[in-house]
């Protein structure tokens, strides 16, 4: 073994010792040193073992080009799995690797302990590999371009899943839907509420597929309540899909559910990792050269950028602010909340466990932080992008709004039997953010392909309700 | 002192050279880009800024089908949160969408980083476009010409050696060698050039097949030929010239404009001048025959007469036209007649030409711009076993 590897191993054990003393709680670590194109492949696919698709190739090409031109550099990649895989870029210096090793340990601690991740599949590396293999077998059976076109359509709606953390009565999605249907029917006929165990009967009453038909028969709206999980709803109730297609949808949905918590906690997760790599490296004995190199790299990671908000920086600043406010509460905080001094560390560990970006920002982005970070709201006025507001509450709320639903528009299945002819009505839960209409009209044909019948989407344009429809031939756009 | 065993981790470095997934999917994406460009060929063939250019620029092809469409928010219409350096104030202008880009692509302002406004365009050079277009095409009825006439010898300096003729000495490389030797010896500088430093250029004899082709571009410039008709003809001749230049070392074009009488004109005149009056097509065929007989002996030239007209010929002239085309075909590889007939008028010329049943005679009626591509493909499509060279 080269002495370089020995040095790295020694550094890692040293860093782990420090991390342990701080109370970080992570999975066993697997560090793998990779050449740049491999790191960028993993970056584009999100996972080393993911299935093949041209869109990943496109992303890979773009990322790799930026690397080749020296515009951006990924130093590491960490996978939420047990054991936890972390990929280090070949050619990193020892001090760069020290920072990265500490950084990924904190990411892993976050994966392991944050509530949003509690349901993620820690064997996803293997699951994705199995998925990739199954998809390539479908390619052999049904033709590569058939499968590719179908995946194109699924990817168009992939963000629209429902990452339920709490499953009522531990029902799976289908059981929940049956339950809702039963309640809707009961409500309609005014029947008395049945006994506590009656729902057990319903578990095996409706085997597959019949839910929609039965709802129709009973004159109950289907789905009884708007359904957020569009992917699941289509995969379950579309009449246009073959078994292999349902299988692909359900596998891609699992992958999205796996990635979802990462989308919901980007600011926190990066803030947490940056907070800890700084604290851990401070404990190490560094030469003055190493200290300077560390400072440079650290600055490049957490530097604020004028164009967009750097999640590393924002997250780091909020965590530091929480720690300070719980270490040194003001007189008022002590009186009103009974907050005792010196609880900073404890508090940030609690926050990393319970919050996601939306609640993190809503609860801990204070007036002082907004001022110190010099945050502002900007928007387009005519051809110019202008700063239009510096009111701290507005800034906080705007940031929260941009992180709702991982940043994707919140769209639900409103009616799976629209116009009583099996058409699909989606509804955008409009809260002030309009949809990109060009993208909307190009996405509907994908949904049509999955549903097999005309599809509609209701949203709001220029403060008026609007309906976009696609029937396989043409688009219709009307105000309602 | 920590020991590695106490901590649960492994560091490894494996051979990843067989992990090609990223490159494979990248290639698949590039294939899709090519497919899109191919689908766009009919439009690109008549793209104005290609036809009117010197042929050196990069062409942008929008890749609408290769965007990953999803439901997304409209970035332009939203408020966003940004971060300043401590001195930001309401009213500060952060950026601007240049008027050219507005509503099209988001290069200005912030929109550039947003996926929603990342309008994908593929850039290809005219050469790549030619490769793609000409890949589907082939020169029909190539005829063997006299061998002696078709080959020339020439020499090319392409190697450097330590031995050679003094007159072929390569001064630059000789001095470089001297510099290098002196530097190694610890006495840098140019001095004491020894025979060891001398470098000579040497050559190789190559035999270049000399092949010539001539296009007789004939066009009706009578009053009935409008801008659209001329543009279609122009696009066609643009690509045809480029195509033939790939096949032959030297391609000459003779421009012949005609109404009731024919004249040899310059390229510029050919495409720009318009005249009033009737049409007598036989005049130009007669002229073409004269030019072939006086300047381009069929024994050493591949001859391609192409005639563009709107078909509105003097009826009594048609018979003579058919006869002259027969004469032309005896001397040529191929005779092409392109009729630009936007409104589907009855064409006197076409009705006469339909009776010509000869392989070498080809015609195509262009009704809209996109069909220039079809015309090219009709004239130069790949023939099964037909094209022997």
Closest residue of chain B to A5, computed from CA coordinates: B11
Report the range of poorest mean pLDDT among A26-30, A455-459, B3-7, B350-354.
Answer: B3-7
CB contact under 8 A, B26 and A305: no
**Of A439, A52, A147, A440, whose CA–CA distance to B29 is shortest?**
A52
Domain(s) labelled CATH 3.40.50.410 in chain B stretch across 212-380
E strand map for A246-389: 375-381, 384-389
Q: Where do we find the tokens 């584009």?
A: A44
**Measured distance CA(B52)–CA(B366) in Å, rounded:** 20
In sign, the C-alpha dihedral spanning B279, B285, B290, B292 is positive
- SS3 call for A435: strand
Name the fold adopted by B212-380.
Rossmann fold (3.40.50)
**Of A373, A396, A381, A305, whose CA–CA distance to B93 is shortest?**
A381
Q: Any chain B CB within 8 A of the CB of A16?
A: yes
Highest mean pLDDT among A436-445, B247-256, B322-331: A436-445
pLDDT band of B142, cuts 50, 70, 90? low
In sign, the C-alpha dihedral spanning A11, A17, A22, A28 is positive
The CA-CA-CA angle for residues B310, B314, B318, to 5°, reads: 90
pLDDT at residue B120, rounded to an integer: 63
| Contacting A residues, span 349-388, partner chain B, CB-CB under 8 Å | 373-380, 383-388
Q: Where do we find the tokens 């030239």?
A: B301
pLDDT band of B301, cuts 50, 70, 90? confident
Span A129-136, mean pLDDT? 95
Tally of CB atoms within 10 A around B272: 12
**Measured distance CA(B70)–CA(A447) in Å, rounded:** 10
Query: Residue B70 is nearest to which of A37, A54, A443, comparing CB atoms?
Result: A443
**Measured distance CA(A32)–CA(A78) in Å, rounded:** 10
Cis omega before residue B320 (within 30°)? no
Does the pLDDT of residue B2 top 80, yes or no?
A: no
Phi, psi of B55 (to 5 degrees): 80, 20
Q: What angle, rounded to 10 degrees, do the helices at A357-364 and A311-327 form? A: 50
DSSP track, A73-102: ---EEE--SSSEEEEEETT--HHHHHHHHH
Higher pLDDT, B106 or A24: A24
Helices (H), A338-379: 344-354, 357-364, 367-372
pLDDT at residue B105, rounded to an integer: 35
> Do B266 and B306 contact (CB within 8 A), yes or no?
no
CB contact under 8 A, A12 and B7: yes
pLDDT at residue B37, rounded to an integer: 82
Query: Tokens at residue A63, please?
Result: 């990322």
What tens digit of pLDDT does each residue of B257-270 get? Answer: 888 888 898 887 87
pLDDT at residue A22, rounded to an integer: 96
Q: Any chain B CB within 8 A of the CB of A446?
A: yes
pLDDT at residue A137, rounded to an integer: 96
Higher pLDDT, B225 or A295: A295
ipTM: 0.87
pLDDT at residue A274, rounded to an integer: 94
CB contact under 8 A, A386 and B3: no
CA-to-CA dists, residue A187 to A14, A210, A222, B242, angstroms: 63, 20, 14, 76
Q: Mind telling me how many Å the CA of A249 is from chain B's nearest CA?
A: 16
CB contact under 8 A, A375 and B82: yes
Residues of B in contact with A83 (CB under 8 A): 8
> Do A473 and A260 contact (CB within 8 A), yes or no?
no
Residues of A in contact with B70 (CB under 8 A): 155-159, 408, 439, 443
**Measured distance CA(A276)–CA(A108) in Å, rounded:** 12
- SS3 call for A2: coil
Does the pLDDT of residue B382 top 80, yes or no?
A: no
Report the range of poorest mean pLDDT among A147-161, A353-367, A386-400, B179-193.
Answer: B179-193
> Do B137 and B376 contact (CB within 8 A), yes or no?
yes
Residues of B in contact with A156 (CB under 8 A): 68-70
CB contact under 8 A, A408 and B72: yes
Query: Residue A395 is nearest to which of B26, B81, B97, comparing CB atoms?
Result: B81
pLDDT at residue A159, rounded to an integer: 95
**Measured distance CA(B84)–CA(B86) in Å, rounded:** 6
In sign, the C-alpha dihedral spanning A386, A388, A390, A394 is negative
* Exposed / middle / buried, residue A118 (Cβ in 10 Å: 0-12, 13-18, 19+): exposed
Q: Taking the CA atoms of chain B, what radius of gyration do you get in angstroms? A: 31
Residue A412 neighbours by CB under 8 Å, 6+ apart: A226, A227, A228, A230, A426, A427, A429
pLDDT at residue B102, rounded to an integer: 38
Does the pLDDT of residue B115 top 60, yes or no?
A: no
Instruction: Please count the helices (runs of H) and the strands (runs of E) in chain B.
Output: 12, 13
- SS3 call for B160: strand
- SS3 call for B386: coil
CA-to-CA dists, residue A421 to A418, A425, B357, angstroms: 6, 11, 58
Does the pLDDT of residue A279 top 80, yes or no?
A: yes
Q: What angle, rounded to 10 degrees, do the helices at A357-364 and A266-283 form? A: 70
Q: Any chain A CB within 8 A of the CB of B294?
A: no
DSSP track, B8-39: -EEEE----TT--HHHHHHHHHHHHHHHHHHH
pLDDT band of A139, cuts 50, 70, 90? very high
CB contact under 8 A, B16 and A34: yes
**Measured distance CA(B217)–CA(B235) in Å, rounded:** 12
> Do B264 and B256 contact (CB within 8 A), yes or no?
yes
**Measured distance CA(B380)–CA(B207) in Å, rounded:** 28
**Of A71, A152, A35, A91, whose CA–CA distance to B20 is shortest?**
A35
CB contact under 8 A, A402 and B82: no
Residues of A in contact with B99 (CB under 8 A): 383
pLDDT band of B101, cuts 50, 70, 90? very low
**Measured distance CA(A146)–CA(A150) in Å, rounded:** 6
CA-to-CA dists, residue B113 to A408, B83, B88, angstroms: 16, 16, 22
Span B85-103, mean pLDDT? 70
**Measured distance CA(A81)–CA(A113) in Å, rounded:** 12
**Of A211, A255, A216, A215, whose CA–CA distance to A237 is shortest?**
A211
pLDDT band of A267, cuts 50, 70, 90? very high
Q: What is the overall mean pLDDT for chain A?
A: 89
A-interface mutation test, from B62, B83, B85, most A Cβ less than 10 A away: B83
**Measured distance CA(B106)–CA(A202) in Å, rounded:** 54
Q: Mind telling me how many Å the CA of A196 is from chain B's nearest CA?
A: 42
Does the pLDDT of residue A200 top 70, yes or no?
A: no
Query: Residue B73 is nearest to which of A29, A377, A434, comparing CB atoms?
Result: A434
Report the range of poorest mean pLDDT among A268-272, A348-352, B28-32, B57-61.
Answer: B57-61
HSE-up of A138 (CA within 13 Å, CB side)? 24
Cis omega before residue A223 (within 30°)? yes
> Do A90 and A36 contact (CB within 8 A), yes or no?
yes
HSE-up of B224 (CA within 13 Å, CB side)? 22
DSSP B73: B
CA-to-CA dists, residue A434 to A409, A411, A429, A466, B301, angstroms: 9, 12, 10, 11, 66
Tally of CB atoms within 10 A around A316: 23
CB contact under 8 A, A443 and B88: no
Report the range of poorest mean pLDDT among A378-387, B13-22, B84-93, B202-211.
Answer: B202-211
pLDDT band of B378, cuts 50, 70, 90? confident
Span A398-427, mean pLDDT? 93
Highest mean pLDDT among A17-31, A290-304, B30-44, B284-298: A17-31
What tens digit of pLDDT does each residue of A63-89 get? Answer: 888 888 877 778 889 999 999 999 999
E strand map for A230-302: none
**Of B104, B76, B103, B116, whose CA–CA distance to A408 is shortest?**
B116
pLDDT at residue A195, rounded to an integer: 54
pLDDT at residue A251, rounded to an integer: 96
> Do B94 and A378 contact (CB within 8 A), yes or no?
yes
pLDDT band of A453, cuts 50, 70, 90? very high
**Measured distance CA(A56)–CA(A37) in Å, rounded:** 13
> Do B133 and B239 contact (CB within 8 A), yes or no?
yes
Query: Tokens at residue B94, please?
Result: 């952060």
Query: Tokens at residue B260, please?
Result: 């009731």
Span A204-213, mean pLDDT? 52
> Do A269 and A315 contact (CB within 8 A), yes or no?
yes
Q: Mind telling me how many Å the CA of B96 is from chain A's nearest CA?
A: 4
Highest mean pLDDT among A117-126, A171-180, B104-113, B362-371: A117-126
E strand map for B162-278: 200-209, 212-220, 250-258, 262-265
> Do B114 and B76 contact (CB within 8 A), yes or no?
no
């Amino acid at each position: 073994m080269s002495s370089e590897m020995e040095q790295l191993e020694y550094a890692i054990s040293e860093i782990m010792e420090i991390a342990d003393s701080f109370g970080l709680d992570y999975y066993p670590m697997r560090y793998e040193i990779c050449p740049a194109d491999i790191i960028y492949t993993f970056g584009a696919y999100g996972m080393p073992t993911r299935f093949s698709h041209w869109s990943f190739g496109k992303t890979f090409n773009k990322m790799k080009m930026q690397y080749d031109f020296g515009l951006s550099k990924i130093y590491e990649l960490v996978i939420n799995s047990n054991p936890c895989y972390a990929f280090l870029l070949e050619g990193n210096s020892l001090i760069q690797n020290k920072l990265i090793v500490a950084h990924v340990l904190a990411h892993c601690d976050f994966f392991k302990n944050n509530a949003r991740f509690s349901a993620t599949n820690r064997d996803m590396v293997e699951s994705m590999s199995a998925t990739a293999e199954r998809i390539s077998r479908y390619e052999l059976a049904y033709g590569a371009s058939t499968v590719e076109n179908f995946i194109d359509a699924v990817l168009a709606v992939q963000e629209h899943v429902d990452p339920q953390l709490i499953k009522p009565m531990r029902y799976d999605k289908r059981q929940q839907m049956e339950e809702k249907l039963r309640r809707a029917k009961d409500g309609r006929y005014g029947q008395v509420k049945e006994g506590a165990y009656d729902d057990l009967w319903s578990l095996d009453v409706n085997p597959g597929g019949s839910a929609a038909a039965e709802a129709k028969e009973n004159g109950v709206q289907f789905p009884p309540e708007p359904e957020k999980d569009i992917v699941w709803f289509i995969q379950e109730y579309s009449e246009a899909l073959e078994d292999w297609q349902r299988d692909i949808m359900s596998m891609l949905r699992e992958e999205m559910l796996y990635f979802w918590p990462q989308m919901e906690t980007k600011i926190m997760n990066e803030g947490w990792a940056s907070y800890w790599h700084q604290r851990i490296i401070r404990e190490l004995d560094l030469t003055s050269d190493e200290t300077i190199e560390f400072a440079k790299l650290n600055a490049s990671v957490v530097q604020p950028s004028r164009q967009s908000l750097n999640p590393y920086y924002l997250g780091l600043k909020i965590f530091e602010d929480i720690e300070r406010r719980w270490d040194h509460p003001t007189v008022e905080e002590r009186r009103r909340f009974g907050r005792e001094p010196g609880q900073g560390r404890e508090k940030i560990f609690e926050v990393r466990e319970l919050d996601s970006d939306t609640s993190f920002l809503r609860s801990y982005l204070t007036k002082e932080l907004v001022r110190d970070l010099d945050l502002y709201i900007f928007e387009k006025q005519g051809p110019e992008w202008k700063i239009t507001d510096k009111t701290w509450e507005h800034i906080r709320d705007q940031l929260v709004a941009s992180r709702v639903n991982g940043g994707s528009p919140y769209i639900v299945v409103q009616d799976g039997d629209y116009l009583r002819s099996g058409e699909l009505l989606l509804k955008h839960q409009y809260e002030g953010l309009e949809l990109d209409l060009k993208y909307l009209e190009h996405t509907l044909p994908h949904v049509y392909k999955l549903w097999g019948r005309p599809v509609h989407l209701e949203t709001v344009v220029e403060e008026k309700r609007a309906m976009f429809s696609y029937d396989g031939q043409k688009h219709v756009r009307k105000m309602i | 002192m920590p020991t590695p065993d106490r901590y649960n981790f492994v560091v490894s470095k494996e051979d990843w050279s067989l992990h090609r997934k990223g490159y494979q999917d990248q290639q698949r994406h590039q294939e899709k880009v090519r497919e899109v460009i191919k689908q766009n060929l009919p439009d690109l063939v008549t793209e104005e800024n290609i036809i009117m250019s010197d042929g050196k620029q990069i062409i942008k092809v929008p890749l609408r089908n290769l965007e990953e469409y999803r439901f997304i928010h409209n970035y332009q219409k939203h408020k966003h949160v940004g971060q300043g350096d401590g001195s930001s104030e309401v009213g500060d202008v952060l950026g601007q969408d240049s008027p050219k880009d507005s509503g099209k692509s988001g290069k200005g302002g912030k929109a550039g980083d947003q996926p929603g406004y990342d309008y994908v365009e593929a850039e290809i050079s005219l050469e790549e476009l030619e490769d793609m277009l000409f890949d589907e095409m082939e020169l029909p009825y190539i005829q063997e010409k006299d061998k002696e006439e078709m080959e020339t010898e020439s020499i090319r300096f392409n190697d450097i050696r330590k031995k050679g003729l003094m007159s072929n000495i390569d001064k630059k490389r000789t001095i470089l060698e001297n510099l290098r030797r002196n530097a190694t010896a610890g006495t840098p500088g140019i001095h004491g050039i020894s025979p060891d430093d001398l470098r000579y250029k040497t050559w190789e004899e190559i035999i270049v097949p000399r092949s010539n082709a001539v296009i007789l571009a004939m066009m009706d410039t009578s009053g009935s030929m409008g801008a659209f008709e001329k543009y279609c003809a122009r696009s066609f001749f643009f690509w045809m010239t480029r195509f033939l230049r790939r096949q032959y070392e030297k391609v000459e074009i003779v421009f012949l404009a005609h109404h009731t009488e024919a004249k040899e004109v310059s390229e510029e005149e050919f495409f720009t001048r318009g005249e009033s009056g009737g049409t007598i097509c036989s005049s130009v065929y007669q002229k073409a025959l004269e030019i072939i007989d006086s300047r381009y002996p069929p024994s050493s030239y591949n001859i391609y007469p192409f005639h563009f007209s709107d078909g509105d010929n003097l009826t009594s002239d048609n018979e003579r036209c058919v006869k002259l085309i027969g004469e032309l075909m005896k001397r040529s590889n191929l005779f092409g007649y392109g009729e630009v007939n936007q409104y589907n008028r009855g064409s006197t010329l076409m009705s006469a030409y339909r009776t010509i049943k000869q392989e070498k005679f080809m015609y195509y009626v262009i009704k809209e711009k996109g069909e220039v591509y079809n015309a090219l493909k009709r004239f130069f499509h790949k023939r099964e076993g037909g094209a022997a060279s």
